Amino acid sequence: MNDIKEYTEKVFEDIKHIDEFGNEYWYARELMSVLEYSLWQRFSNVLRKAMENCLNSNHNISDHFIGADKMINLAKNAVRNIQDYKLTRYACYLIVLNCDPRKKVIAFAKTYFAIQTRKQELSEKEYNELTEDEKRLYRRNQARKGNYNLNQTAVNSGVKDLARFHNAGYKGLYNGETADDIFKRKKLRYREDILDNMGSEELADNIFRIAQTDAKLKRDNVDNEYTANSVHYEIGKEVRYSIKRLGGTMPEDLPTPEKSLKEIEKY
């Protein structure tokens, strides 16, 4: 059940450019490589569909797909013009929507480019305008990043058994349930991830647990596995108590969505 970070924001941040006015942009050919397309001809079909989407959304194509052709040197002093584009974040998002959804990197790219602000944080208004499935995708990405950081902090705090460490947090938050108990209660299929099968509210409960545990382990300079597990359990209990005190729904009583995020990311 542990969270494995396969793709990170750095993948797209590393190929992001900033112009003299502070505007961010990406080159189509660099993006093509990251999105695991090897042939420009195939990727140009994706670009064409994205441009059609842009036009149908009443946006000017030239505002988001800016020609940036280049001359490259060939053998014997020959040169050749190659086609390229400077892409806005919106253009990248349209491109990703038209890419092969079977590629794992595409699912992450959808989340990355869908978020419009520079630091990948949505305002309350922007978040409220998302659909429930979009909220789930956004929260799941936060949980993924949070768990990655928490794993590093836990290991630095002396944790060797990460599965037991994470179960301590779940037990606190879910009134004694382990990750496996949650898996069974949700009636998930083999190898399905419990976080992929949570609604946005349940994900938010877990994000708070993850963030507060990470902060307390660092703040208290925890240096042994027993204490780290105890901290995670107590933080889980505190989050549970806060939900109860505020009249909220206990996480185990929240509904399990009909579709996992893995299914949603295929479309």
pLDDT tens-digit readout, 116-164? 433 345 566 667 778 898 889 889 988 998 999 999 999 999 999 999 9
The vertex-225 CA angle with 224 and 226, nearest 5°, equals 95
pLDDT higher than threshold 70 for residue 5: no
Across 221-225, average pLDDT: 97
**Which pLDDT score, from 0 to 100, does residue 123 have?**
61
- The encoded tokens of residue 47 equal 């670009």
Are β-strands 65-67 and 16-18 bridged in parallel, bridged antiparallel, or unpaired?
unpaired
Residue 256 CA to residue 138 CA, distance in Å, equals 17
**Which pLDDT score, from 0 to 100, does residue 111 have?**
74
Residue 60: strand, helix, or coil: coil
Alpha carbon of 217 to those of 4, 169, 174, 208, 250: distances in Å? 20, 13, 21, 14, 25
| Secondary-structure breakdown of the chain: helix, strand, coil percentages, each rounded to the nearest 5 | 60, 10, 35
Are β-strands 65-67 and 85-87 bridged in parallel, bridged antiparallel, or unpaired?
antiparallel
